[in-house]
Amino acid sequence: MMNLPTFLAVTQRIWREMKRNRFTLVILLFLPGFMIFVFFFAFSGVRTAGAATYGIAVINNDEGLAEEIKQVLRYDSNSTGLTEETIENGFAADLIEIMNTSTYPGEDEIPIFNVQLMQNEEDAKKLIEDRDIDGLVVFPEEFSNATMAAVNNAHYMQNKMYIHDLINKSIFEGSGGFLQYTGPPFPTRDNATVEIIGDNGFLNYQIVEMIVTLFLNEYTEEVSSLNYPVEITIDIDAINVRDYSVYDTIVPGMIIFGILSQAGIISAFLSSELQTPNRTISRLRLSLIQPWEYIIGASVLQLLISPIQIAVLMGMSFILGFQPEGDILQGFVICWLITLFALGITFVAGAIFTSPDAAGMSIGFGVTPLAFASGAFMDVPKITLIPNIFPTATGALRDFTIWDFLPSTHAINALRSILLYNFSLVDVIAEIVLIVILSGMLLVLSIAAYSKRRFTGDI
């Protein structure tokens, strides 16, 4: 049975040893903060989000209005306010033109979209995978009929008569009761679904999805009101996207990277206990202490140091101008959870290397590519294992990739969602579950390896 005073005594002893080597403690707490300071000067001047122009592909399958309806509208366009171009080309072409020419409010007139018309959906998806575009919008065949139905229903609400009934009445009265409108009724019940396609794990696509939805809602509302031509204004605040810099977007990744980097220092310290003149581990093995008591004692120390380090990392970020949208305490929880992964890395290195230098350097060299693979600093190539299965903070599903086996990937995604885009812990619960499961699995295996390698046999 585990003895609580025993493993706490291990924690206290390791802490005393660490305090004697003050340089180690200073590096442990403040080196990651210094790295954030360096990255601030490297990336703070480059803007990436906010009032940015997003590249989208558009496939227009809209078949337009029936020819008989076009003929009627050509002679009586005043009843709807529709322009000649909309009547001839359809509502989808009209909306696409509006999207392609709309700009953000302000003097700079930054375009919202760079629209690329395409015919083949597979070609467009390939561009999405290569990150050449941010999303794909597909207009269905019945889009014009569905929009015309909205116009027709709006006309009925205002005049208590559908457009085709009004036209029939005019023809009937104008001919003295001899002629009637013989064209097809204007649609009143058609529905159409516009597809918005992209990588749900890609921030730019999430923004594109929100803006396109705003365009669709605003366009339908304006056309239905018979107040044409449509004027659409997109307020950047409406989509909750600030003008972040590259530095701002990598701060969550840098914080996670800083937490993981402490594993190298702790593992080097643990390895040093094999090298001291008194050979601490050898003496502990002669005592009544159990391997898991020593391991838990060492883990408690790292779990206690981690909040201080997180506070230093976040504090340095705030000093340099990072202003998160979301809840800092919820972000703190994500950072503390990834300490479990750092513990797993710590004991892996401690089990493999007996030299402090080798242990520290292995983590130092290993954590950096791990951070890149987790998307801490830039987007990584997507290697899909299972498509459209993993829930994101927005509620959409994204592909499960090979990088999702890294707990740090989920920690970075969750921290960005919370700090940058004001999601909550509930919204990123799937990321949290995988952080705990994957980190816990590595921690159990690494502890078993450390226990076997350091507390049994010769060392």
For residue 278, name the pLDDT band (cuts at 50, 70, 90): very low
Mean pLDDT in residue range 391-398: 77
pLDDT surpasses 90 at 24: no
Mean pLDDT in residue range 278-294: 58
The dihedral sign for the CA sequence 414, 415, 420, 421: positive
Mean pLDDT in residue range 352-368: 71
Mean pLDDT in residue range 256-282: 63
The pLDDT assigned to 67 comes to 78
Tell which wins on pLDDT, 12 or 371. Answer: 371
pLDDT surpasses 80 at 268: no
**Of the spans 41-50, 206-215, 273-282, 309-318, which averages the highest pLDDT?**
309-318
The pLDDT assigned to 71 comes to 72
The pLDDT assigned to 130 comes to 77
pLDDT surpasses 70 at 235: no
pLDDT surpasses 80 at 285: no
Mean pLDDT in residue range 271-295: 57
For residue 76, name the pLDDT band (cuts at 50, 70, 90): low
Q: Mind listing the pLDDT tens digit for each residue in 79-97?
A: 566 777 887 888 889 889 9
Domain ranges of the chain: 4-47+243-455, 54-239
pLDDT surpasses 70 at 124: yes
Tell which wins on pLDDT, 352 or 274. Answer: 352
Mean pLDDT in residue range 69-78: 67
The pLDDT assigned to 174 comes to 59
Q: Mind listing the pLDDT tens digit for each residue in 372-394?
A: 888 887 778 878 899 878 888 86
pLDDT surpasses 70 at 433: yes
What pTM value is reported for the model? 0.61
**Of the spans 160-164, 302-306, 384-388, which averages the highest pLDDT?**
384-388
The pLDDT assigned to 300 comes to 79
